[in-house]
């Protein structure tokens, strides 16, 4: 293994411990300059990057390198202009040992968008189809269809991809002013402009936009001055029909320390979620990625990843990257047993889950109901309430989308499911008896 292969294998591990934005910002330009015995020298383009990696990510980097090569014990960080060897300048490799080259980040300095995020590359399945449909509607009628569009869901499920895909599609139109910005960067800009007494200039810059996209908006919560200034920007854009697109890890109503007037604005448009992908969706994502990366992976190894990596899309892609990196090093295709060894530390951390059928049948058994009764159209209270609990558990434990939950109960509308989940959430907060009941149901489900 040479130093380039060592670094690629380490990067495949590092992306599990840092956000996508941090990964792009701090690791893209870093290289391994030298590798001698237990010491690795990492080159960075400037002193700021050197200091950041050294102080913020040293332990993560050392752990990742040590997992690839256990002899590595020390890292030296160096400011160097030397960059990664250009792919074109590398000696050609034999077809059977061709190295897989992963995608590069291509940031548009004018919009802040990453050009590689497109609708074409967004995999649509039951866990994200409502969010995708809303995104398409916004592209067709920006500022009118859904304004604002608020997309929420857990980490690594594709919110950022979808937000930027909207921006990139709209950017194809002439003279549209678009800005994509993360909430933490927005906070930083507002704080700096207040300190420099240029806040009015910053607000005018935002107010000239036709499309504003803010990722992870929950990070403005608790920051009073930021919320106040953003409120004025939001209103100005809304009044002139500029499209506003926001993402968060939770519903507006569940963001703590968020001002009521902002919460009201966020809920005034379309609020839609992206939930955790099911097995079929996870398998489809992996298939799409190996075609995109032109990789050759054992189908049984893909099944193993799809079965055991359940939390989000980012972890799925990361597991596949790790497997491919090992194939690159070993110069051969890995089988199922090899895949298990390579990925065992990842699969150990996956949360134990149950199937939707197991949850529904456990709820039915707990309340002594027939499965057909639970999924029937009857609205009798002694059946409707257990049905709402089953919906709540499917949402809470499996992160199923409202649409897919509705389909499990005879095609009920997603608004019915939202009502059920909210109702049980409220009841749990004030009814200790119900909390105990749900705990006992979970014991049936998970055998705890």
Residues 336 and 232 in one domain: no
Residues 405 and 315 in one domain: no
Tell me whether strands 178-182 and 149-153 are parallel, antiparallel or unpaired: unpaired
Residues 376 and 314 in one domain: no
Instruction: Let me know if residue 15 belongs to a domain.
Output: yes
Rounded mean pLDDT, 60-72: 86
Residues 15 and 71 in one domain: yes
- Of 245, 274, 303, at which residue does a domain stop? 274
Q: What is the CATH number of the domain that holds 25?
A: 3.30.300.180
Question: How far is Cα 296 from Cα 298, in angstroms, rounded to an integer?
Answer: 7
Rounded mean pLDDT, 141-154: 92
Rounded mean pLDDT, 296-311: 88
Residue 138 has which token pair?
A: 């916004």
pLDDT at 50: 84
Which residue in this structure is represented by tokens 């500029």? 242
Bond before 148 cis per omega within 30 degrees: yes
pLDDT at 448: 42
Kindly list the distances between the CA atom of residue 152 and the CA atoms of 156, 393, 399, 445, in Å, as whole numbers in the listed order: 11, 19, 12, 27
64 band by pLDDT with thresholds 50, 70 and 90:
confident
Rounded mean pLDDT, 153-157: 82
Q: What is the CATH number of the domain that holds 331?
A: 1.10.8.60
pLDDT of 95 strictly over 90: no
Residues 270 and 285 in one domain: no
pLDDT at 352: 54
Residues 210 and 258 in one domain: yes
pLDDT at 85: 38
Residues 178 and 249 in one domain: yes
**Residue 59: how many CB atoms within 10 A of its CB?**
9
User: What is the extent of the structural domain holding 308?
Assistant: 279-348
Residues 185 and 261 in one domain: yes
pLDDT at 342: 85
pLDDT of 409 strictly over 80: yes
- Of 47, 81, 115, at which residue does a domain stop? 81
**DSSP string for 378-434:** ---HHHHHHHHHHHHHHHHHH---HHHHHHHTTS--HHHHHHHHHHHHHHHHH-HHH
pLDDT at 268: 94
Residues 6+ apart with CB under 8 A from 262: 220, 227, 230, 231, 234
Q: What is the CATH number of the domain that holds 171?
A: 3.40.50.300
Name the phi and psi angles at 153, rounded to 5.
Answer: 165, 175
- Comparing 405 with 295, the larger pLDDT belongs to 405
Residues 301 and 362 in one domain: no
Which residue in this structure is represented by tokens 């240029």? 198
Residue 308 has which token pair?
A: 């055991």
Residues 18 and 134 in one domain: no
pLDDT tens digits, one per residue of 240-290: 999 999 999 888 887 878 999 999 999 999 999 888 888 888 998 899 888
Q: Which of 177-181, 246-250, 348-352 has the highest mean pLDDT?
A: 177-181
pLDDT of 106 strictly over 70: yes
Mean pLDDT of the chain: 85
pLDDT of 76 strictly over 70: yes
Question: How far is Cα 39 from Cα 32, in angstroms, rounded to an integer?
Answer: 11
| Cβ(406)–Cβ(417) below 8 Å | yes
Q: Which of 407, 408, 307, 304 is nearest to 356 (CA)?
A: 408
DSSP reduced 3-state for 216? coil
Instruction: Let me know if residue 89 belongs to a domain.
Output: no
Instruction: Let me know if residue 155 belongs to a domain.
Output: yes
83 band by pLDDT with thresholds 50, 70 and 90:
very low
Count of domains forming the chain = 4
Q: Roughly how many angstroms between the first and final C-alpha of the chain, as a whole number? A: 45
Q: Could you tell me what percent of the chain has a pLDDT over 70?
A: 88
Question: How far is Cα 272 from Cα 89, in angstroms, rounded to an integer?
Answer: 46
Which pTM was predicted? 0.59
Rounded mean pLDDT, 139-144: 94
Question: How far is Cα 374 from Cα 332, in angstroms, rounded to an integer?
Answer: 51
From 127-141, 147-161, 339-353, 421-435, the region with the lowest mean pLDDT: 339-353
Q: What is the dihedral of CA 260, 261, 264, 266, to 10 degrees?
A: -110
| Cβ(409)–Cβ(387) below 8 Å | yes
Residues 41 and 63 in one domain: yes
128 band by pLDDT with thresholds 50, 70 and 90:
very high
Rounded mean pLDDT, 2-22: 76
Q: Which of 30, 16, 109, 29 is nearest to 63 (CA)?
A: 16
pLDDT at 447: 55
DSSP 367: T
From 20-24, 45-49, 318-322, the region with the lowest mean pLDDT: 20-24
Q: What is the CATH number of the domain that holds 415?
A: 1.10.1750.10
Instruction: Let me know if residue 102 belongs to a domain.
Output: no
pLDDT of 127 strictly over 50: yes
| Cβ(390)–Cβ(359) below 8 Å | yes
Kindly list the distances between the CA atom of residue 160 and the CA atoms of 31, 114, 217, 285, in Å, as whole numbers in the listed order: 26, 10, 12, 16
From 92-101, 160-169, 170-179, the region with the lowest mean pLDDT: 92-101
pLDDT tens digits, one per residue of 214-246: 999 999 988 999 999 999 999 999 999 999 999
Instruction: Let me know if residue 10 belongs to a domain.
Output: yes
Beta bridge partners of 79: 44
DSSP reduced 3-state for 238? helix
Residues 6+ apart with CB under 8 A from 36: none
Question: How far is Cα 402 from Cα 273, in angstroms, rounded to an integer?
Answer: 8
Instruction: Let me know if residue 246 belongs to a domain.
Output: yes
Instruction: Let me know if residue 76 belongs to a domain.
Output: yes
16 band by pLDDT with thresholds 50, 70 and 90:
low
442 band by pLDDT with thresholds 50, 70 and 90:
confident
């Amino acid at each position: 293994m040479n130093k380039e292969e060592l670094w690629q294998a380490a990067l495949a591990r590092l992306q599990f411990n840092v956000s996508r934005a941090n990964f792009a910002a701090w690791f893209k330009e870093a290289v391994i300059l030298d590798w001698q015995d237990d010491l690795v020298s990492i080159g960075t383009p400037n002193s700021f990057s050197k200091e950041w990696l050294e102080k913020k990510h040293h332990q993560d980097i050392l752990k990742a390198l040590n997992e690839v090569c256990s002899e590595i014990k020390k890292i030296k960080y160096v400011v160097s202009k030397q960059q990664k060897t250009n792919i074109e300048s590398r000696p050609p490799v034999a077809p059977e040992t061709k190295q897989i080259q992963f995608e590069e980040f291509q940031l548009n300095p004018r919009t802040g968008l990453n050009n590689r995020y497109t609708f074409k590359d967004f995999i649509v399945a039951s866990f994200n189809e409502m969010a995708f449909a809303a995104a398409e509607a916004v592209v067709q009628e920006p500022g009118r269809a859904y304004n604002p569009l608020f997309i929420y869901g857990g980490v690594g499920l594709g919110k950022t991809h979808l937000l930027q895909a909207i921006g990139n599609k709209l950017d194809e139109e002439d003279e549209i002013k678009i800005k994509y910005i993360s909430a933490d960067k927005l906070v930083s800009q507002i704080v700096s402009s207040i300190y420099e007494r240029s806040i009015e200039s910053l607000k005018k810059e935002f107010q000239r936009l036709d499309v504003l996209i803010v990722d992870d908006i929950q990070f403005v919560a608790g920051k009073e001055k930021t919320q106040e200034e953003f409120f004025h920007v939001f209103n100005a854009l809304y009044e002139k029909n500029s499209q506003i697109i926001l993402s968060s890890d939770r519903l507006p109503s569940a963001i703590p320390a968020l001002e009521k007037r902002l919460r009201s604005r966020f809920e005034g448009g379309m609020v839609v979620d992206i939930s955790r992908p099911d097995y079929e969706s996870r398998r489809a994502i992996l298939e799409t990625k190996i075609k995109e990366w032109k990789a050759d992976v054992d189908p049984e190894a893909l099944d193993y990843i799809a079965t055991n990596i359940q939390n989000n899309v980012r972890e799925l892609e990361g597991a596949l990257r790790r497997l491919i990196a090992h194939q690159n090093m070993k110069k051969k295709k890995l089988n199922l047993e090899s895949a298990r060894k390579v990925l065992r530390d990842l699969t150990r951390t996956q949360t134990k889950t149950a199937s939707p059928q197991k949850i529904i049948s456990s709820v039915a058994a707990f309340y002594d109901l027939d499965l057909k009764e639970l999924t029937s159209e009857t609205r009798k209270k002694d059946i409707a309430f257990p049905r709402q609990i089953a919906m709540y558990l499917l949402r809470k434990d499996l992160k199923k989308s409202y649409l897919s939950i509705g389909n499990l109960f005879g095609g009920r509308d997603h608004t019915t499911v939202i009502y059920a989940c909210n109702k049980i959430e409220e009841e749990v907060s004030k009814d200790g008896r119900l909390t105990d009941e749900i705990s006992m149901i979970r014991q049936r489900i998970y055998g705890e």
